[in-house]
Amino acid sequence: MSYWKLFYHFVWATKHRQPLLTPQIEPMVHNYLRAKALGLEAKVFAINGTVDHVHMVVAIPPKLAVATFIGQVKAVASAKLNQLAGEGSLFWQDEYGVFSFDAKRLPNYVAYVENQKTHHAQHSVIPVLERTIDEDVKAIRDDQPIYGFESSQWREELIAMQNDL
């Protein structure tokens, strides 16, 4: 098996932002999402959202295209829920947002997703992480030191990352 660390934060919404993910429906949808993601050999770190959208933090194996992954995950969740009699219909918007990040920031993304309902209730969302439609957004960059070939800081960060696993 190949070694990989490819972390993503996904966000997508119900069709027309309808409030379909009620407290009764949401756990079933999240379970379908998790099961399909695991079936695709992804590692699921967090799933949460509100009545009209879902966030998911995952690591996806490189053999699977990001668009293929999210397409299959969304499709299975809505199809399975729609097969249940009396549970109503669930359809997703075609669009989604996806953000890649490094292992050092994984706890931040997981915490953000786990606290979705609180963030929305307190109006403390991070707007760029709530987007599902492309708009002209400037790149987000951290001020990072420039690493040289023999940078000891770079080496120390990688060694520390290995120790955190």
Please tell me whether residue 55 adopts helix, strand or coil conformation.
strand
Tell me the CATH number for domain 7-137: 3.30.70.1290
The predicted structure's pLDDT at residue 132: 73
Question: Residue range 130-159: average pLDDT?
Answer: 65
pLDDT in tens, 3-36: 889 999 999 999 999 999 999 999 999 999 999 9
The predicted structure's pLDDT at residue 149: 56
Q: Looking at the predicted structure, is the pLDDT value of residue 146 above 70?
A: no
Element (H, E) at 142: none
Q: Which of the listed ranges 53-67, 95-109, 151-165 does the model predict with the highest average pLDDT?
A: 53-67
- For the chain, what are the domain ranges? 7-137
Q: What is the CA radius of gyration of the chain?
A: 18
Which residue matches tokens 């993304």? Answer: 109
Q: Which of the listed ranges 22-26, 52-56, 75-79, 103-107 does the model predict with the highest average pLDDT?
A: 52-56
